[in-house]
Amino acid sequence: MVATFYSSLRQPARKPMNPLLTCSTHLLLGLLLGFSTSATVWAQAPDSQRMSPHALAAYPHDVEQTPSTANLPKLALTPQLLYQLLLAEIAGARSNVPLATRTYIELARTTRDPRIAKRATQLSVYARQPDQALEAARLWAETDSESSQAHQILAGLLLGAQRPDEAAIHLAKLLSLEPANLAEALPGLNRLLARYADKTQALQLTEQLTAPYEGMAEAQLARAQAAANANQEERALAAIERALALRPEWDQAVLFKAQLQQRSSTKQALATLSRFLGDYPKAREVRIAYARTLVGDKSYEAARREFATLLDENPNDPEILYAVALLSLQLNDLVPAEKHLKRLLELGASDPNPLRHYLGQIAESTKRPQEAMDWYSAVTAGEQFLLSRMRIAALLAQQGRFDEARQSLQQALSTKSNPSSNERVALLIAEAQLLRDAGRFAEAFDLLDASLAKQPEQPDLLYETALLADKLGKYEVLESNLRKLIQIKPDYAHAYNALGYSLADRSERLDEAQRLIEKALELAPEDPFILDSQGWLLYRRGDRNGAYALLNKALALRPDPEIAAHLGEVLWVMGRREEAQKTWSEAVKTNPTNEALSATIKKFKQ
């Protein structure tokens, strides 16, 4: 035995490991002294990264006090006992977890000391040895029956072993040991049961365990949560209603009720939250939930009012400021949006780059191009970096500073550290778009085609080069690129759509065009551009009423100038010329230079 002990000491030192396995002088002294003086020094809690899921869920964060001296056995510190304690601790420090665990289990059996049983449990859980952990935890709970920690861990281990009836005994004991903390412990049952696979049985366990506490709102919330986890919504709603009857002002309960209702009806959830706020207007978390639910319901103005109420009470709350700013942007109310975004910058936002990008967009929308470029230039990192550089280039191009615009895009690559191939392609396509907007289609095509020759299967280059080929009448290139793209990415809806639309626009192979557009719609059913293609195909086939219905739907989804051009043309040939002119004139207000729109209006209003 002594030889074994010294051989363990001769093991080479290893990389430092979890504190649980590190030999602690204070811990060992506490153990050793405990046998003669009943001292109560004990170990650190185990590393949460290595615990089993059930034991981790059960393991309390607060280290509880060790058992009273009355619960400790009277043991003599014999040489054998000293040897086993040293062997276990040094084995743990040397990462020989199996030996440490085995030794502590043996010690726990022979000594029935709760401190040793606790240490054995910790090591077994850390080592993912569920059978040994169960044995050690049983010994711990038996030798210190008043330990909440012991019953909590043992219950978690029993649940992990799919032994719910035994676990229930210890969970019930745990609740009885914590009368002062019942309000927290009762809802906490569902955290312990969260990973138990049989949710129906977990519900039965919860109802059984909460039976002595039915008059507490927390018990009813625990039942509601368990019923919801078991997909028994009516039962869950009944329980949460009982919780609110017992404690009408409880925001946690009403939030859970609204969450349940939202599964089937957002309107019901909104009504529940609204009524609660009528009675308890200072319920901050409920108002936040109400505002977010309104956003999800696309009731942006109402959501902004709720966030504004919160902002009045918390004028420097970054989360609320950001929410009001984004909702104001969504509503195109740019003055308050700009004000709140600037305030967020003053408060020291952790990531100012999105805020700067939004401020650039606002300045651009309000015809302040230089200020917009200043904001965009201030964006230094993140996903907004390239977008900002593209907007700077577009603004320069709008001012006739075309060469500067192209140069700014080219410089963006050198500014950004380690740009990805996708980012390089995005900037290249942006440069081609500048050329395209200037009517220099051949130059744009050559720019992209040269890059495509170096990476012939790059999807975005294939697509954009195909669109430019269409502008130049290079229909063979268009079809070749798009068919190759479909082969590489068979779920690329817009590749099918672009080829189908090109055929329909030229009134060629209309049956094939229809198959392609139908495939695109199958992949993206509500895409307005694909609906536009389908409507245009019907128009080419003479179905004006069908074309009108689809184009009208497409324009409602996306007020795009080319969709407006198509819809106006269909209305014109249907004899509804006033509607056609109105459709065109509204599109011209926001897109005065769109080539397709201008050509269509000129065609019919000569």
Residue ranges in 455-509 assigned as alpha helix (H): 459-471, 475-488, 493-505
CATH number, domain containing residue 588: 1.25.40.10
Are the C-beta atoms of residues 187 and 218 closer than 8 Å to each other? yes
Domain end, chosen from 177, 192, 223, is at: 177
166 inside domain: yes
Helix (H) or strand (E) holding 601, with range, is helix 595-604
Each as own residue / partner, the long-range contacts of residues 346-350 (CB below 8 Å, 24 or more positions apart, any chain) are: 347/316, 347/318, 347/321, 349/318
Per-residue b or e along 357-377, where b marks 16 or more CB atoms closer than 10 Å to that residue's CB = bbbbbbbbeeeebeebbebbe
CA distance 575 to 566: 15
- Whole-model pTM: value is 0.69
Task: Report the number of distinct structural domains present in the chain.
Answer: 2
Residue 92, domain member (yes or no): yes
Question: Which of 78-82, 169-173, 282-286, 307-311 is predicted least confidently?
Answer: 78-82
* Overall average pLDDT of the 304-308 stretch: 94
d(CA 161, CA 176): 23
Residue located via tokens 């711990």: 140
Backbone phi and psi for residue 96, each to the nearest 5 degrees, phi listed first: -90, 75
Residue 76 CB burial class (10 angstroms; 0-12, 13-18, ≥19) = exposed
281 within domain boundaries? no
Query: Residue 156 domain-assigned?
Result: yes
Q: Is residue 170 part of a domain?
A: yes
Domain that holds residue 568: 509-606
Domain-ending residue, one of 177, 204, 228: 177
Residue 517: other Cβ atoms inside 10 A: 27
At residue 342 the predicted structure's pLDDT band, cuts being 50, 70 and 90, is very high
**pLDDT for 554-600, tens place per residue?**
999 999 999 999 999 999 999 999 999 999 999 998 888 888 898 89
Instruction: Identify the CA nearest to 296 among candidates 266, 260, 264, 272.
Output: 266
160 contacts: CB under 8 Å, gap ≥ 6: 52, 53, 54, 55, 130, 195
Query: Hey, how many other C-beta atoms are within 10 angstroms of the C-beta on 241?
Result: 14
Nearest to 422 by CA among 383, 393, 453: 383
Residue 572 is assigned to a structural domain of this protein: yes
Alpha carbons 51 and 61: distance in angstroms, whole number: 13
Domain assignment of residue 133, yes or no: yes
Nearest to 314 by CA among 327, 326, 323: 323
Q: Give the mean pLDDT of 24-47.
A: 38
Residues 6+ apart with CB under 8 A from 59: 45, 46, 48, 51, 125, 149, 152, 153, 156
Supply the DSSP symbol for 212. G
- Residue 455 has a CB neighbour count (10 Å cut-off) of 12
Q: Tens digits of per-residue pLDDT, 177-208?
A: 877 777 787 877 888 777 777 888 889 888 98
Residue 80 lies inside a defined structural domain of this protein: yes
Which tokens in the block code for residue 591? Answer: 């897109």
| Distant-in-sequence, close-in-space partners of 348: CB < 8 Å, separation ≥ 6 | none
For 513-525, the pLDDT digits (tens) are 999 999 999 999 9
Of 542, 543, 583, nearest to 562 by C-alpha is 583
Q: Last residue of a domain, which of 177, 205, 232?
A: 177
Task: Note whether 164 and 149 are within 8 A (CB).
Answer: no
Question: Cα 228 to the chain's mean position, in Å?
Answer: 22
pLDDT in tens, 111-144: 888 888 888 888 888 888 888 888 888 888 888 8
